[in-house]
């Protein structure tokens, strides 16, 4: 297969970026998208054409959330429920033009080319996305009865890998789905309910401080999430946020 790649090149966050075009041939349909970029970089290096294209990757198994690329107008490309590393070239037609960009969001500044700084998510987690109270050991947790539907919802929310596709898909660059998932998977379980009000208040305040936008319910985040996180987590986040504010007012 052959493709024409239009790739965003940018030296750093302050530099002005632009698209550069690279023709590529001899790509197997079974090749993953990142493997295709590896082949491109080998050619760029061996032929002394340009500096290799910088892009994030790690596990290449859809687990780590590192490989965030905006491909033909969609986060992670033209398939559902997958990360960029799980996208294969058989999803494209021979001779296609492919446009590849980094995440476009103010809280995710470009480091170089397709690599963005997603440490804003880390700062949100550091603000309150954890359990710090003593809730007993593993045997104690196993003795606490938890309704199956709540355990299932908590597990579904915990599957969020923090890739940032929700932010990239949202016209407001909102992180509500990410924060909602992190709040939900802790708050739905008894061990996380002790700090629930403080957690949601700290995480939402940090999210706003970092410059993420507000949610206007377009549901683009849910549509593009590689782990199919549900928008109901945003509703749960809003309920806990209002409860936290009312609780603080009473104090």
Report pLDDT for 242. Answer: 92
**Do 72 and 188 belong to one domain?**
no
Q: How confident is the model at residue 249 (pLDDT cuts 50, 70, 90)?
A: low
**Do 85 and 152 belong to one domain?**
no
235 or 136: which carries more pLDDT confidence? 235
**Do 55 and 82 belong to one domain?**
yes
Statement: residue 139 has pLDDT above 80? no
| Predicted confidence (pLDDT) per residue in 152-174, tens digit | 999 999 999 999 999 999 999 99
Closest CA to 8 of 156, 142, 115: 115
**Do 130 and 85 belong to one domain?**
no
Statement: residue 250 has pLDDT above 50? no
Element spanning 185, H or E: helix 176-187
Q: Quick one: what percent of the chain has pLDDT higher than 70?
A: 96
**Do 122 and 245 belong to one domain?**
yes
**Do 104 and 123 belong to one domain?**
no
Report pLDDT for 247. Answer: 78
64, 79, 112: which is the final residue of a domain? 112
For residues 167, 172, 175, 181, the Cα torsion angle rounded to the nearest 10 degrees is -90
**CATH number of the domain residue 9 falls in:** 3.10.20.30
| Predicted confidence (pLDDT) per residue in 230-239, tens digit | 999 999 999 9
**Do 48 and 137 belong to one domain?**
no
Q: Between helices 119-128 and 196-209, what is the axis angle to 10°? A: 150
Mean pLDDT taken over the chain:
93
**CATH number of the domain residue 156 falls in:** 1.10.1060.10
Q: How confident is the model at residue 141 (pLDDT cuts 50, 70, 90)?
A: low
Burial of 138 (0-12, 13-18, 19+ CB in 10 A): exposed
Cα 44 from Cα 28, distance rounded (Å): 19
Averaged pLDDT, 119-128: 97
**Do 90 and 163 belong to one domain?**
no
Averaged pLDDT, 219-236: 96
Report pLDDT for 248. Answer: 62
Q: How many domains does the chain have?
A: 2
65, 82, 112: which is the final residue of a domain? 112
Q: 93: domain range?
A: 3-112
**Do 205 and 146 belong to one domain?**
yes
Report pLDDT for 142. Answer: 72
**Do 48 and 78 belong to one domain?**
yes
Sign of the CA dihedral running 121, 122, 124, 128: positive
**Do 135 and 171 belong to one domain?**
yes
CA 173 to chain centre: 12
| Predicted confidence (pLDDT) per residue in 166-198, tens digit | 999 999 999 999 999 999 999 998 889 889 999
Averaged pLDDT, 5-18: 95
Report pLDDT for 155. Answer: 95
């Amino acid at each position: 297969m052959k493709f024409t790649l239009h790739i965003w090149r940018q030296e750093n966050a302050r530099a002005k970026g632009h698209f550069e075009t690279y023709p590529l041939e001899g790509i197997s349909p079974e090749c993953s998208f990142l493997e295709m970029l590896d082949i491109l970089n080998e050619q760029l290096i061996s032929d002394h054409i340009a500096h290799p294209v910088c892009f994030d990757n790690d596990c290449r198994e859809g687990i780590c959330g590192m490989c965030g690329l905006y491909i033909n107008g969609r986060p992670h490309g033209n398939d559902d429920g997958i990360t960029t590393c799980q996208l294969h070239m058989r999803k494209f037609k021979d001779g296609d033009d492919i446009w590849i960009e980094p995440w476009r969001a103010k809280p995710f500044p470009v480091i170089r080319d397709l690599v963005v700084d997603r440490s804003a998510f880390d700062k949100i987690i550091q603000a309150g996305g954890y359990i710090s109270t003593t809730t007993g050991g593993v045997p104690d947790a196993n003795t606490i009865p938890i309704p199956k539907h709540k355990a299932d919802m908590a597990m579904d929310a915990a599957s969020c890998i923090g890739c940032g596709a929700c932010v990239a898909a949202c016209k407001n660059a909102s992180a509500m789905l990410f924060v909602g998932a992190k709040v939900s998977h802790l708050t739905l379980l008894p061990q996380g309910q002790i700090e629930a009000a403080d957690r949601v208040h700290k995480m939402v305040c940090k999210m706003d401080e970092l410059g993420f936008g507000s949610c206007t319910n377009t549901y683009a985040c849910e549509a593009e999430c590689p782990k199919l996180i549900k928008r109901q987590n945003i509703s749960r986040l809003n309920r806990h946020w209002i409860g936290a504010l009312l609780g603080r007012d009473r104090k």
